[in-house]
Structure 1
Amino acid sequence: MTNPSDLADAYARPASEVLTALDATATGLSSSEAAARLSRHGPNSLPGAKPRPAILRLLAQFNNALIYFMLAGAGAAAALGHYVDAGVILAVVIVNAIVGFLQEGKAESALNAIRDMIAPQASVLRDGRRISVGMADLVPGDVVLIEAGDRVPADLRLISARNLLVDEAILTGESVASTKGVDPVAAGAALGDRRPMAFSGTLVSAGQGSGAVTATGTRTQIGRISTLLHEVEPLTTPLLRQINAFAHRFTLLAFVGAALIFAFAVSLRGYAWDDALMAVVALAVGLVPEGLPAVITITLAIGVQRMAARRAVIRRLPAVETLGATSIICSDKTGTLTRNEMTVGRVVTADGVSVVQGAGYDPTGHDFTPEPTARGLLRAGLLCNDAELNPGTWKVEGDPMEGALIAAAMKAGLDPATERAARRLDAIPFDAQHRFMATLHDMPGQGRVMLVKGAPERIMAMCARQASEAGTQVLDHTYWSDRIAETGREGERVLGYATKPMPDGTTRIDFPDVESGLTFLGLTGFIDPPRPEAVAAIAECHRAGIDVRMITGDHAETATAIARQLGLAPDPQVLTGKDLDAIPDSGFADAVARTQVFARTSPEHKLRIVRALQSRGNVVAMTGDGVNDAPSLKQADVGIAMGIKGTEAAKEAAEIVLMDDNFASIVAAVHEGRTVHDNIRKVIAWTLPTNGGEALTVIMAILLNFALPMTPVQILWVNLLLAATLGLVLAFEPSEPGVMARRPRKSGAGLLTPFTVWRIILVSVIFMAISLAVFFWTLGQGRDIEVARTMVVNTLVVLEIFYLFNIRYLHMTSFTLTGVKGTGPVLGAIAVVVVGQLAFTYLPVMNRIFESRPLTLLDGIVIIVIGVLSLVVLEIEKHLLRDRFREE
């Protein structure tokens, strides 16, 4: 027996030759031989993903540098004796870990979802008898019997096929079931063109057949996809990369800085080591942004909630932000950019072309009055038809193209129930070898009539005349060849129609009746029309600087025509799977970058395309719904699966699932992702200067050898009060105007952009300078140090409130009515802060705990004036320098 791996070209070889190579016969294997082959080749099953233990997934949530910061903050609070505060920080760490644990760790399910696509039982011939065996027991050489409704259990080289249609959308993405036959096709044919093959996991839509098993388990086409999923390494999202890089740098800076300050205080300022340690702990408490990871997680979670309202389910928290960084969206065609509903777009007769309005199977609201010849053609399409179109739901039972013919006939005013009263007396079902279908009818007023539909070239070959309004004419081959080519260039699938009167009393028709004497009625062009909302969404993507690429298993002409209608490009460049195979690795990325449409692609092609785009620094989002899309969904920076028509394998491999299968929802996700990233930057740009001002104040006190303007416990109070209020409200900020008018940020761009770094330094210095000025001004009035420190704490809090209003808008001024009045969360947080500070300042118990003192009304007015002036200064600075530092 030939090794099954040597039968990769079984589709290009006669069935008898394949059987010989498999050492099998059309009557099947013997039971003993099947058992021997099973032990040799292994079971026909796919390996499941090896799940990580839950404890390891949980511990992995703590492996983050900013989490280490939070633990350091807890240690600092504990060292100061503030055990309650340390417990609060630890609680935030634990909550953050639990959220990550619940949101992530499900990617392994993608492989198990693919396993479920394989039929559990199969009908085979063993010992010359038809029996049912478990799917796992199939072996190369087995003869499998398939019929409508069956899931193909292994890759089969067909031996027989009668009216066999197989839905291969999970592998090819094509919306129309593939017609199967037994004749070989050319070597190197694309997957969707391998007519003598039936592939594991696909669904038999109609007809019946039998085939010899050529591949099982991981050697099948669906098994190769499973293997590809194993080979795809999970990517770290841009946000996580940036947070980790920032945290590691910040950790090193904090550690080195604390050590230097400690050494300086002990050796040059004569501090006792324990006093120096307390000062350094105060510095650490002020410097470390221990609440930042929690606020970032909350910001992402809010983005997830907003996306859920837009019919998008986020399976992993950082994905919504990653989509905001997307520079290229690679989209499947069928069902994502198109409706996945075949539609008759035009009717061509000898008298001209009728354009049929409306998309999909719903005929209501798109009535038209065709000329008589076109009406006769549509009647033929309605009667030579085995499909049913359910009124109200407008769902098709049967072939989608036949359903589209019913909808077109109804638009022309033909009633299926009335028209089908013309009794069908006989039929020749569609057959791949003859490429037509014929029916015999008893037509009222016309007698016995045969109607034929099928491949236009085949129908024309059986016709001598053509129908027209003026009567029948000699068939004009040139005219029809031009019309067929014109329709094909528009990416439409074409069917031809013919009629023939039959003698009275005819009750049966056979192939000789069809092969001559027909009158050609004309053509219909079918297309899976673009979603109107997808056209608008692609235009918005282009305005946002995002390229859209179509990757499909469909034919190049169809894909190119759809791409043109979608506005993908004025003149879309297209590469087929064969073209991609011929491009060397050295020039592959450049070729992919120039191309908008990829047609007749395999899962390997999709994976290679995504990797090539990523190699050029792009953040790539990939949409898909089939098993064939799962590897590229996993490889992409963010995978987006279709929730309605998507397979479970695609959903499990993706980070985002669109519940409405609508490309327009992706644009909404991009919008939300950009908002989330803006809000995270605002959180950082507000938090770090706040902490920086506190830390610089402590550093200056140590360097210049004067009393600390704030005690460690007061610093901790400020951090806990503001992080839980003002720092959190920035997560709820709505989108800034023009968020989709900016180009995508570069994938390597850090969270700390040049303008943000400048802002952190400037605001930290301003906060330090004002804090020290207030401290020494109060002491200069002869007031005690406790009052001075209370003034500093209140001043710092007021500065941070006004700075919040400044930072709410990164790309425009805050001096607008909307900017001044704020949002509900902002005003609520300020109210909490004000109440907290009033308690800190005037409540005796707080005075005892924090060594604070009551202030006068004049003190309060001075502090508020300082806050207003700081806002004016920072708004002027933002206006002057924002364009110079523009990084968006």
Structure 2
Amino acid sequence: MWFDKTSEEVLKELDTNPNEGLSSEEAKKRLEKYGENKLSSKSKKTIFQIFFSQLKDPMIFILIAAAIISAFMGEISDSIIILVVIFINGIVGTIQEFRSEKAMEALKELSTPKAVVKRDGDLKEIPSEEVVPGDIVILDAGRYTPADLRLIESANLKIEESALTGESVPSSKDASISFHDENIPLGDQKNMAFASTLATYGRGVGIVASTGMDTEIGKIARMLDESESELTPLQKKLAELSKILGIVAIAICALIFIISVIQKRDLFEMFLTAISLAVAAIPEGLPAIVSIVLAIGVQRMIKENAIIRKLPAVETLGAVNIICSDKTGTLTQNKMTVTKFYTYDSLKPINDLDLSNGSYKLLLDNIMLCNDATYNENSKTGDPTEIALLEVGVKFNILKNELEASSVRVNEVPFDSDRKLMSTMNKYDKNYIVYTKGAIDSLLKITNKINIDGHIQDLTEDIKTKIMKASNDMSDDALRVLGSAYKELDSSDIPVGDIEKDLIFIGLVGMIDPPRLEVKDSIATCKQSGIRTIMITGDHKNTAFAIAKELGIAENYDETISGTDLDKLSQDELNTKIDSLKVFARVSPEHKVNIVKAFKSKGNIVSMTGDGVNDAPSLKTADIGVAMGITGTDVAKGASDMILTDDNFSTIVSAIKEGRNIFNNIKKSIIFLLSCNLGEIIALFVAILLNWDTPLKPIHILWVNLITDTLPALSLGVDPGDENVMDNPPRNPKESLFAGGSSIYLILNGILIGVLTLIAFRYGEKVYGTGEHAQTMAFVVLSVSQLFHSFNMRHPKKSIFKIGIFSNKYLVGALIVGIFLQYIVITVPFLANLFNVFNLTIYDWTFVIGISLITIVLNEIAKIFMRMKSNKQQI
């Protein structure tokens, strides 16, 4: 802790002379001791390491084993197809991961390239990497702070710290302050300047207290480096599914071996059959299909102004039920704006300011001429508060340079943090006017008159009471209040100390960083959808609550907590209390991480939005980190899962809606693939159990799983979304993929597909007698019935005719292409030999297409009864 020491104590502890600075020799020793003033990070993964990390999946292990066994048994084509699937899946994952994890690089880029320090008694400009603890650093407006400094001198110094603390206005600094409390929040440490923050006003001198990873921004970097990414709900479910399918495959192989011994079949033939069943149990294309569907979802998200950096984030969005939102720049516009003004007995919106009213015009002249900011069409420079005052004039088509054309500033008393006032003396034709603005409590001490509609009257205690009430009313609405006063002079020849005496009170202006216009509706939509919005900010408690109340986030002040109070709670205590809190004020980066962890401890899926450096650790800790694309720092973008290109809070709601629909589509694809694979298992297992010939070869099953099934599965992945999806509460991440009757639906359709395949096989054997002809008919029915079954998957209850057969053109295309490919495999001699199939007759094709259509017919009948049952329950 450096802020709780006096400047003398810091100079003594760091063994530095404030006038001479360090010697070059001493600086070199300290550089060797402390290291360069830059951020470190973990070594980056090579592209090959990233690729092989994609293969650490139980389903991939099973596929590799199947490929090796197939090759060993002479089934080279099967082995090649499996390996191609593994390679495609690895490439998709590698491309996504290679584009992510840029947070540490962005943090390094924030380092200031140059710093002005005292060395050997002279001022020198050196690379910021060479700054060491004990260096004396000079700060002035427009210069970045190279390291964490304990200020030893300051003159009207203001530093922009919003990226670090979340405060929307620059922080005033005072080197003379010393604290005796170790629990002072970062934003209140007025005697400190932190690395990578920008001086916007005044000047200062500081002694370097911390460099590199020991700075506040370095601590954030370490938190980013140490945090580990967690699996998303879908990833966890697919991992569990992979293990189950692996166990099922091994169990089937063992069972087939036992049956073959009992039936005294050829062991080699039965081993090939066992591999067929194992292949049937595993949906080989599932990992690749899920990755591709997510990638397609990413492209759809871009159209909604949301860039997804990590594929699994798409499905996680659909389960989000907590949005922890940074206030500044996310819920608000990150732009100070004057919203109200007050002249005696009249508090009004700024839009009601009438320039024909003399008091109103005088107030406007005051705030624009007692002002050091500049504003024109091309640029605006200066303190954000003063820029906001100039923008009031712009609102009424008055520019500062127009007012200055009729007056000349001849004297001034600059603002300082002790007086909390600023004054200018402006010369008009034959007289002079002093304009003063500042904190209302300071202003009332130097005013003894008031301008009431052009009449100058004594400033009585009753009038002061009314002025303070107006000021408090604006403060209660989270407005920052500035007072205005003036006096007229015949001559400019007065002592500087008399300029701010015997002033005439004009009025007050109230300003705020206003909420984004669309945010309130977005928060209401979230509430309707079962999603809670939580505000996290570096602003003070009263300001935070006022904004939260206006937006509909919080209703009671008890739902607000400050960073100081958070420090008094352990993580377990915060976890217990978290459900009753909606607004977190004056918080540090560590607080934000603890808040996210507390919400996650309750089983919530948490999204964290932010734009500053201070948001990066919590963005990474959250299930979904959302960074602002326009105002966001590179650090926040690098740590996020999603970036909003329009910085619009409502885009998050659109993204969640899209995420819900994408997850539903992925679930359709998974249920479809598993029901098809179950049909394959039933067809093979029943045939073996009844001591029939094998109806399908391993290559037939691989073809169906990787080609025929893949096209409709992908088409289901881009199914048009349900417009009413936001009427439902968020999905429970612990809920099984097979919840809501999906398991029964899967099993019944699996049985149906398996039975239809066996019917075609036995019919072929009975009519033609040859195993190859019968196997071909079973092969085609298995493939085509699955293609037709994909249309059943579009909605669990609605008829395909009500949804519209052609409303998903990709699915129609998948059906046509699938049947065409099946025809090619059977009719092209080279492929027919490879697949060991027979060229079917027109009658055969009519039979297999007709029997395959039964999947749609029976499902449509079942849906009629389901709708009837649902209607009765509603009645």
**Which residue is equivalent to 1:240?**
235
Helix, strand or coil at the partner of 1:104? helix
Give CA deviations for 1:555-582 in whole Å, capped at 9, x if unaligned.
Answer: 1122111112222133361111001011
Matches within 5 A, 1:412-423: 412-421=396-405, 422-423=407-408
> Unaligned regions of 5+ residues in structure 2, if any?
none
Give the SS at the match of 1:408: helix
1:214-268 Cα offsets, whole Å, 9 max, x none, are 2222222112212222332222222222211211121112112222222222x21
The answer to whether the aligner puts 1:193 opposite 2:183 as a matched pair is: no
Matched, 1:479 2:462: no
Q: Residue 451 of structure 1 aligns with which residue?
A: 435
Q: Which residue of 2 aligns with 1:219?
A: 214
Q: CA deviation at 1:435?
A: 1.2
Aligned-pair Cα RMSD in Å: 2.6
Indicate conservation of the 8 Å contact 2:248/2:281, yes or no: no
2:712/2:815 contact within 8 Å kept? yes
| Greater mean alpha carbon deviation, residues 66-75 or residues 466-475 | 66-75
Determine whether 1:708 maps to 2:700: no
Are 1:800 and 2:792 an aligned pair? no
> Cα deviations across residues 282-312 of structure 1 (Å, max 9, x unaligned)?
2123222001111101001001111122222
Aligned to 1:5: none
SS at match of 1:834: helix
Structure 1's 73 and 689: CA in aligned 2 closer, same or farther, altered over 3 A? farther
**Aligned letter for 1:695?**
I
Partner of 2:394: 410
Partner of 1:361 in structure 2? none
The 5 A counterparts of 1:153-172 are 153-172=146-165
Change (3 A) 1:235 1:847: closer
TM-score (normalizing by structure 1): 0.92
Given residue 278 of structure 2, which amino acid in structure 1 is its aligned partner? A
| CA distance in 2: counterparts of 1:869 and 1:803, whole angstroms | 10
2:577 matches 1:591? yes
Q: Aligned-pair distance for 1:799?
A: 2.5
**How far 1:681 moved relative to its partner?**
0.5
For the 8 Å contact 1:316–1:655, the answer to whether it is kept is: yes
**For residues 856 and 124 of structure 2, what CA distance do their matches in structure 1 show?**
86
**Distance (Å, rounded) in 2 between the aligned partners of 1:212 and 1:13:** 12
Distance 1:843 1:134 in 2: 71
- Pairing 1:511–2:497 present: yes
Query: For residues 191-231 of structure 1, what are the alpha-carbon distances to aligned partners after superposition, in whole Å with 9 as ceiling and x for unaligned?
Result: 11222211111111122111122222222211221222233
* Offset at residue 735 of structure 1 (A): 1.0
- The residue number in structure 2 matching 1:382 is 368
Give the Cα separation in 2 of the matches to 1:768 and 1:57.
Answer: 40
CA contact (8 A) 1:302 1:732 kept: yes
SS in 2 for 1:295: helix
1:520 aligns with 2:505: yes
Q: Which moved more, 1:155-164 or 1:524-533?
A: 155-164
Q: CA deviation at 1:826?
A: 1.1
Q: 1:860 to 1:767 in 2, by over 3 A?
A: closer
Q: Deviations over 1:439-470 (max 9, x none)?
A: 111235x7200101111111111111222115
Question: Residues 634-653 of structure 1: matches in 2 within 5 Å?
Answer: 634-653=620-639
User: Which of 239, 247, 251 pairs up with 1:252?
Assistant: 247
Give the equivalent residue in structure 1 for 2:12: 20
Comparing 829-838 with 625-634, which one deviates more in the overlay? Answer: 829-838
Cα distance in 2 between the residues matched to 1:55 and 1:701? 45
Tell me how far 1:540 sits from its aligned partner: 1.8
2:718 is matched with which residue?
732
- Compared with structure 1, are the counterparts of its residues 844 and 368 closer, same or farther at alpha carbon in structure 2 (3 Å cutoff)? farther
Q: Which secondary structure state, in structure 1, belongs to the residue aligned with residue 485 of structure 2?
A: strand
Q: Is the 8 A contact 1:76 1:285 kept in 2?
A: no
Structure 2 Cα separation of the partners of residues 60 and 883 of structure 1: 50
Q: Tell me the residue number matched to 2:488.
A: 501
Change (3 A) 1:41 1:370: farther
2:859 aligns with one of 856, 861, 871: 871
Deviation at 1:874, TM superposition (A): 4.2
Measure how far apart 1:775 and its partner are. Answer: 3.6
Q: In 2 relative to 1, CA 24–508 (structure 1 residues): closer, same or farther, beyond 3 Å?
A: farther
> Counterpart amino acid of 1:385?
N
Q: Does 1:176 align with 2:169?
A: yes
For residue 212 of structure 1, give the secondary structure of its aligned residue in structure 2.
Answer: strand
Most deviating of 294-303 and 745-754: 745-754
Q: Which residue of 2 aligns with 1:489?
A: 476
For the 8 Å contact 2:220–2:614, the answer to whether it is kept is yes
Matched with 2:96 is 103
> Cα offset for 1:108?
5.4
2:788–2:853 contact (8 Å) kept in structure 1: no
Given that 2:757 and 2:782 are in contact with CA atoms closer than 8 Å, whether structure 1 keeps it comes out as yes
Give the superposition deviation at 1:787. 4.5
- Distance (Å, rounded) in 2 between the aligned partners of 1:87 and 1:798: 24
Residue equivalent to 1:750: 736
Q: Which consecutive residues of structure 1, in runs of 5 or more, have no partner in the other structure?
A: 1-7, 358-365
Rounded to whole Å, the distance in 2 between the matches of 1:863 and 1:472 is 98
CA deviation string 1:799-855 (max 9, x = no partner): 323321111124x51344433233221111111122223345556666554323324
Aligned length: 863
1:296-353 superposed Cα distances (whole Å, 9 cap, x missing partner): 0100100111112222222211112222221211111111111111110100111401
The answer to whether the Cα contact below 8 Å between 2:826 and 2:837 also exists between their aligned partners in 1 is no
Look up the match of 1:275.
Answer: 269
Residues 249 and 367 of structure 1: CA distance in aligned 2, closer, same or farther (over 3 Å): farther
Q: Distance in 1 between matches of 2:802 and 2:356?
A: 59
Q: 2:225 aligned with 1:230, yes or no? A: yes
**Structure 1 CA distance for aligned equivalents of residues 266 and 848 of structure 2:** 37
CA 1:370–1:649 in 2, change beyond 3 Å: closer, same or farther? farther
- Paired residue for 2:144, among 151, 165, 171? 151
* Structure 2 equivalent of residue 686 of structure 1: 672
- Between the aligned partners of 2:293 and 2:641, the Cα distance in structure 1 is 17
2:336 is aligned with 1:352: no
> Where in structure 2 are the equivalents of 1:268-667 lying within 5 Å?
268-357=262-351, 371-391=357-377, 396-421=380-405, 422-444=407-429, 447-469=431-453, 471-475=455-459, 476-504=463-491, 506=492, 510-514=496-500, 516-571=501-556, 573-667=559-653
Distance 1:569 1:71 in 2: 54
Of 811, 820, 830, the residue aligned with 1:826 is 811
CA contact (8 A) 2:343 2:506 kept: yes
Amino acid at match of 1:489: D
One-letter amino acid of the counterpart of residue 7, structure 2: A
Question: Shift of residue 74 of structure 1?
Answer: 3.8
* Distance in structure 1 (CA, Å) of the matches to 2:436 and 2:198: 27
Contact 1:440 1:509 in 2 (8 A): no
- 2:230 maps to 1:209: no
Aligned twin of 2:53: 60
The change in CA–CA distance for 1:719 and 1:13 in structure 2 (over 3 A counts) is: closer
Larger CA deviation: 845-854 vs 23-32: 845-854
Alpha carbons of 1:868 and 1:57: their partners in 2 closer, same or farther (altered >3 Å)? Answer: closer
Task: Flag the 1:789–1:484 CA change in 2: closer, same or farther, 3 A.
Answer: same
Tell me whether 583-592 or 37-46 shows the greater mean CA deviation: 37-46
Contact 2:100–2:309 (Cα < 8 Å) also in 1: no
Cα drift, residue 687 of structure 1: 0.4
Kept in 2, the 8 Å contact 1:299–1:731? The answer is yes
> Does the CA contact (< 8 Å) of 2:322 and 2:607 recur in 1?
yes
CA distance in 2, matches of 1:791, 1:781: 11
The whole-number CA distance in structure 1 between the counterparts of 2:523 and 2:816 is 43
Q: Secondary structure at the match of 1:123?
A: strand
Q: State the distance in 2 between where 1:205 and 1:835 align.
A: 69
2:422 is matched by which residue type in structure 1?
M
Q: Of 666, 678, 681, which aligns to 1:695?
A: 681
Contact 1:96 1:294 in 2 (8 A): yes
